[in-house]
Structure 1
Amino acid sequence: EQPIQRYASRYEWQDLLQIHGLIVTKTLKYDLERPRTRHDWQAYLHQPKKLARLAAAQLVPLNLAFCFVFLCHKPN
Protein backbone atom coordinates (compact mmCIF):
# COMPACT_ATOMS: atom_id res chain seq x y z
CA GLU A 1 0.00 0.00 0.00
CA GLN A 2 1.33 3.42 -0.95
CA PRO A 3 1.86 5.88 1.92
CA ILE A 4 -0.01 9.16 1.85
CA GLN A 5 2.13 12.07 0.72
CA ARG A 6 1.21 15.61 1.61
CA TYR A 7 2.51 18.77 0.05
CA ALA A 8 2.45 22.14 1.75
CA SER A 9 4.49 25.31 1.97
CA ARG A 10 7.14 25.82 4.60
CA TYR A 11 4.85 28.00 6.70
CA GLU A 12 1.92 25.59 6.42
CA TRP A 13 4.12 22.82 7.88
CA GLN A 14 5.43 25.18 10.55
CA ASP A 15 1.87 26.18 11.50
CA LEU A 16 0.89 22.51 11.77
CA LEU A 17 3.78 21.82 14.15
CA GLN A 18 2.96 24.87 16.26
CA ILE A 19 -0.75 23.99 16.42
CA HIS A 20 0.30 20.66 17.94
CA GLY A 21 2.37 22.34 20.64
CA LEU A 22 5.90 22.44 19.23
CA ILE A 23 8.07 25.52 18.94
CA VAL A 24 10.07 25.67 15.70
CA THR A 25 13.55 27.03 16.41
CA LYS A 26 15.14 26.51 13.01
CA THR A 27 14.21 25.33 9.52
CA LEU A 28 16.65 23.66 7.14
CA LYS A 29 16.25 22.65 3.52
CA TYR A 30 16.94 19.10 2.44
CA ASP A 31 17.09 18.39 -1.28
CA LEU A 32 20.10 16.13 -1.78
CA GLU A 33 22.31 13.95 0.36
CA ARG A 34 25.68 15.67 0.56
CA PRO A 35 28.81 13.53 0.16
CA ARG A 36 30.50 12.88 3.51
CA THR A 37 33.20 10.34 2.79
CA ARG A 38 35.91 9.91 0.18
CA HIS A 39 33.85 7.12 -1.37
CA ASP A 40 30.84 9.45 -1.60
CA TRP A 41 32.93 12.09 -3.37
CA GLN A 42 34.33 9.54 -5.80
CA ALA A 43 30.80 8.44 -6.66
CA TYR A 44 29.78 12.06 -7.28
CA LEU A 45 32.85 12.73 -9.42
CA HIS A 46 31.94 9.78 -11.64
CA GLN A 47 28.42 11.18 -12.11
CA PRO A 48 28.75 14.79 -13.30
CA LYS A 49 24.97 15.33 -13.34
CA LYS A 50 24.77 14.55 -9.63
CA LEU A 51 27.65 16.91 -8.92
CA ALA A 52 25.93 19.67 -10.93
CA ARG A 53 22.66 19.08 -9.05
CA LEU A 54 24.52 19.28 -5.75
CA ALA A 55 26.06 22.63 -6.76
CA ALA A 56 22.71 23.97 -8.02
CA ALA A 57 20.92 22.89 -4.83
CA GLN A 58 22.94 25.46 -2.90
CA LEU A 59 21.24 28.21 -4.93
CA VAL A 60 17.67 27.12 -4.14
CA PRO A 61 16.04 29.43 -1.57
CA LEU A 62 14.75 27.85 1.63
CA ASN A 63 11.08 28.42 0.76
CA LEU A 64 11.50 26.63 -2.60
CA ALA A 65 13.19 23.52 -1.23
CA PHE A 66 11.59 20.13 -1.89
CA CYS A 67 11.87 18.97 1.73
CA PHE A 68 12.19 20.76 5.04
CA VAL A 69 13.74 19.75 8.34
CA PHE A 70 12.23 21.52 11.33
CA LEU A 71 14.18 21.68 14.57
CA CYS A 72 11.61 21.94 17.34
CA HIS A 73 11.20 21.70 21.07
CA LYS A 74 8.31 21.42 23.47
CA PRO A 75 7.51 24.49 25.54
CA ASN A 76 8.59 24.33 29.18
Structure 2
Amino acid sequence: MKQEISLKTPYITLGQLLKIADLIQTGGQAKWFLAENDVYVNGELDSRRGKKLYPDDVVKINDRMIKLKAGK
Protein backbone atom coordinates (compact mmCIF):
# COMPACT_ATOMS: atom_id res chain seq x y z
CA MET A 1 0.00 0.00 0.00
CA LYS A 2 1.38 3.41 -0.99
CA GLN A 3 0.57 6.62 0.82
CA GLU A 4 1.68 10.25 0.53
CA ILE A 5 1.77 12.60 3.46
CA SER A 6 2.18 16.36 3.09
CA LEU A 7 4.29 18.09 5.69
CA LYS A 8 3.16 21.44 7.07
CA THR A 9 6.50 21.91 8.86
CA PRO A 10 10.08 21.54 7.57
CA TYR A 11 10.30 18.06 9.14
CA ILE A 12 8.50 15.61 11.44
CA THR A 13 9.84 12.83 13.62
CA LEU A 14 9.36 9.15 12.98
CA GLY A 15 7.17 8.96 16.08
CA GLN A 16 4.92 11.72 14.73
CA LEU A 17 4.68 9.93 11.38
CA LEU A 18 3.47 6.76 13.08
CA LYS A 19 0.62 8.76 14.64
CA ILE A 20 -0.25 10.58 11.40
CA ALA A 21 -0.32 7.26 9.51
CA ASP A 22 -2.68 5.80 12.17
CA LEU A 23 -0.23 3.07 13.15
CA ILE A 24 -0.27 4.14 16.81
CA GLN A 25 -2.69 6.21 18.89
CA THR A 26 -0.26 7.91 21.28
CA GLY A 27 3.35 8.99 21.14
CA GLY A 28 4.13 6.65 24.02
CA GLN A 29 3.37 3.67 21.80
CA ALA A 30 6.11 4.63 19.32
CA LYS A 31 8.93 2.99 21.27
CA TRP A 32 7.02 -0.29 21.52
CA PHE A 33 5.96 -0.17 17.83
CA LEU A 34 9.53 0.46 16.65
CA ALA A 35 10.83 -2.43 18.79
CA GLU A 36 8.26 -4.82 17.30
CA ASN A 37 8.36 -3.74 13.61
CA ASP A 38 11.06 -3.19 11.01
CA VAL A 39 10.93 0.40 9.79
CA TYR A 40 13.08 1.53 6.87
CA VAL A 41 13.83 5.18 6.16
CA ASN A 42 15.17 5.68 2.64
CA GLY A 43 16.06 1.99 2.49
CA GLU A 44 17.92 1.86 5.82
CA LEU A 45 16.61 0.20 8.97
CA ASP A 46 15.89 2.81 11.65
CA SER A 47 14.22 2.46 15.04
CA ARG A 48 14.74 5.97 16.46
CA ARG A 49 11.40 7.59 17.21
CA GLY A 50 13.09 11.01 17.14
CA LYS A 51 14.54 10.47 13.65
CA LYS A 52 13.83 13.61 11.62
CA LEU A 53 11.98 13.01 8.36
CA TYR A 54 11.98 15.54 5.52
CA PRO A 55 10.10 15.97 2.22
CA ASP A 56 11.07 13.29 -0.33
CA ASP A 57 11.93 10.77 2.40
CA VAL A 58 10.40 7.34 1.91
CA VAL A 59 9.41 5.23 4.90
CA LYS A 60 8.60 1.53 4.58
CA ILE A 61 6.70 -0.10 7.43
CA ASN A 62 5.68 -3.72 6.88
CA ASP A 63 3.68 -3.60 3.61
CA ARG A 64 3.16 0.19 3.68
CA MET A 65 5.25 2.68 1.72
CA ILE A 66 4.91 6.29 2.86
CA LYS A 67 6.39 9.15 0.84
CA LEU A 68 6.67 12.54 2.44
CA LYS A 69 6.15 15.67 0.40
CA ALA A 70 6.32 19.37 1.12
CA GLY A 71 2.98 20.88 2.05
CA LYS A 72 1.60 24.18 0.83
* Pairwise TM-score range, normalised by the shorter structure: under 0.3
In proportion to residue count, which structure has more strand?
2
TM-score normalised according to structure 2 size: 0.26
The structure showing larger relative contact order (alpha-carbon pairs under 8 Å, at least 6 residues apart) is 1
Higher alpha-carbon Rg? 1
